[in-house]
Structure 1
């Protein structure tokens, strides 16, 4: 494990300057050509978050100190099937597999192959003995971690039925407002909604606010593809005669349910926080995180922090390291 901490700390040091030189700018340009939803600013942000929030030596050591059973005595071959909705979204699973002592076979999404292949290459440069490589589609595997849409999740369940699997489908995030939020908190909420074009499972798409409270959100610059999507959604709602609030780059629709389309933001008013707590409990399987300062929740995030998960903010509230330890 100490070797892996050293390896990932070295990776973090390399990634800190990502985008500051011609070589990494070329990687960014290539990634943006492959996936039009990626922007250079989003890529730099995602890489910086990994370097600063996940790959600092002291953070890695504190995180792994809670898992005395790691590294495992009998390494397995763990396939990681990655999503590609935001830059390097699958990196955390790769990190978990390697620090647990297992070997990692990486199957990146075609939408994020450039960045993930670059990071795997860096890891192998830093430590040629690191048990990580790109999956060739034929090598045997002992276990799998796979993330994708709900349709993809159904395929995963059938395809990997015979081996241990940790599978994830679609989830979304909510914000619960008290009505006393500061301008700084509302600015953070805007980031929680629109960072990475709202494509992440931690992106807020449903807002609960007290009756009579209409928060004023300052909308940050968004991707042109998002603007095109917003125009389509606005036209569709106009044709349907559905009421909505035009936010200039998104449409806000009053409903107590997650919106079905990107660039739609749902909002609902509540009389008591008990109503919201009951709704959250009833929809727990659909939730990734809850941005709020007025309600307790096991996956609560502060305003402006939804897109900066810590090492202990496990997707779907499933402890990945504990699951990997149990494979031994």
Structure 2
């Protein structure tokens, strides 16, 4: 297929995903929830909307214009998809197919229903994709790899794929920087970054940096609309477990009855917990963030170089996971 044909097919896919019937969406959500209890209807719809948002001709043409896609020599690309949030592996799938390579995908056992649905819809739109995609459990025949997993699995991937070109992603999280000048609306928007997908994504804020002697009351008061999150049984189990640990160990924490806020120098907090760390010097904070850049996906805040409050889970088509340009990797294979 010519690149223009590929772009058109993905644009049509975006339109299709945004116009699913109520019956189709209900059936899809039911299947996805049976596979993964974290995948509630609202989060599935949010993921589908996010995919549909950047699958338009203008976005795709602008993004792909800086790559030498027509010069690509097609290879078999093995993709090991994550499954922590709905359709989190779609961007890798899209990159492989738009770049003209063959896709060998090992789907996550936690996100197989949604990914297979989206690919089957793409096959209906453009049947030429079907022989270009293989669903696999092992990918010994792949020429290059894109793999996403934990820090532990990344070490395995590095060993297993060491002799072939690869992109290997590890654990990452996101943070927010508060200055004390935020409004109640800023805090409510930050709540989206904390609670969307139950905090399971690498773009979810798991830690906030606050000025010394920070008053948390306005912040926590503004988060009250998110209280219903506690009614999800898996989230509640995490909340109860972590709270019991803190109480048994006599560890200090703030409690809203649906979120605990605890001081820690760690970056990644457990589900239902938000870490905080005080700062007194902006230069030291910037230095800390730079030193830990390989562990941080997003920095949310009010500065121009930070992601605005509430937009951490709204990546654009060129916002690559771990900051690694996937399309440059794919188009650079020889």
C-alpha distance in 2, partners of 1:13/1:100?
Answer: 21
Return closer, same or farther for 1:118/1:92 CA change in 2, 3 Å cut-off.
same
Flag structure 2 segments of 5+ consecutive residues without an equivalent.
none
* 1:33-182 equivalence runs, <5 A: 33-52=34-53, 54-67=54-67, 69-130=68-129, 131-135=132-136, 137=138, 140-182=141-183
Return closer, same or farther for 1:121/1:154 CA change in 2, 3 Å cut-off.
same
Which 4+ residue blocks in structure 1 deviate beyond 3 angstroms?
none
Q: Deviations over 1:264-318 (max 9, x none)?
A: 210112112112111101111111110011373xxx3111000010112111111
Root-mean-square deviation (Å): 1.5
1:218 aligns with 2:223: yes
C-alpha distance in 2, partners of 1:277/1:311?
Answer: 27
Aligned residues: 322
C-alpha distance in 1, partners of 2:72/2:326?
Answer: 17
The counterpart of 2:7, out of the listed 5, 8, 19, is 5
Deviation of 1:29 after TM superposition, in Å, equals: 0.3
C-alpha distance in 1, partners of 2:72/2:265?
Answer: 48
Deviation of 1:261 after TM superposition, in Å, equals: 2.1
Structure 2 match to 1:255: 264
Q: More deviation in 57-66 or 134-143?
A: 134-143
Q: Deviations over 1:105-145 (max 9, x none)?
A: 12110000000011111111111111223225356111110
Say which structure is richer in helix: 2
SS in 1 for 2:118: helix
Deviation of 1:23 after TM superposition, in Å, equals: 2.6
C-alpha distance in 2, partners of 1:259/1:312?
Answer: 25
SS in 2 for 1:212: coil
C-alpha distance in 1, partners of 2:269/2:18?
Answer: 36
C-alpha distance in 2, partners of 1:232/1:178?
Answer: 31
C-alpha distance in 2, partners of 1:196/1:61?
Answer: 30
Deviation of 1:224 after TM superposition, in Å, equals: 2.6
Mapped contact 1:72–1:102 kept (Cα < 8 A): no
The counterpart of 1:242, out of the listed 240, 245, 251, is 251
1:187 aligns with 2:193: no
SS in 1 for 2:175: strand
Mapped contact 1:144–1:163 kept (Cα < 8 A): yes
Deviation of 1:190 after TM superposition, in Å, equals: 0.5
SS in 2 for 1:306: coil
C-alpha distance in 2, partners of 1:64/1:259?
Answer: 34
TM-score for both structures, normalised by structure 2: 0.92
TM-score for both structures, normalised by structure 1: 0.94
C-alpha distance in 1, partners of 2:300/2:254?
Answer: 22
C-alpha distance in 1, partners of 2:313/2:8?
Answer: 26
C-alpha distance in 1, partners of 2:239/2:24?
Answer: 34
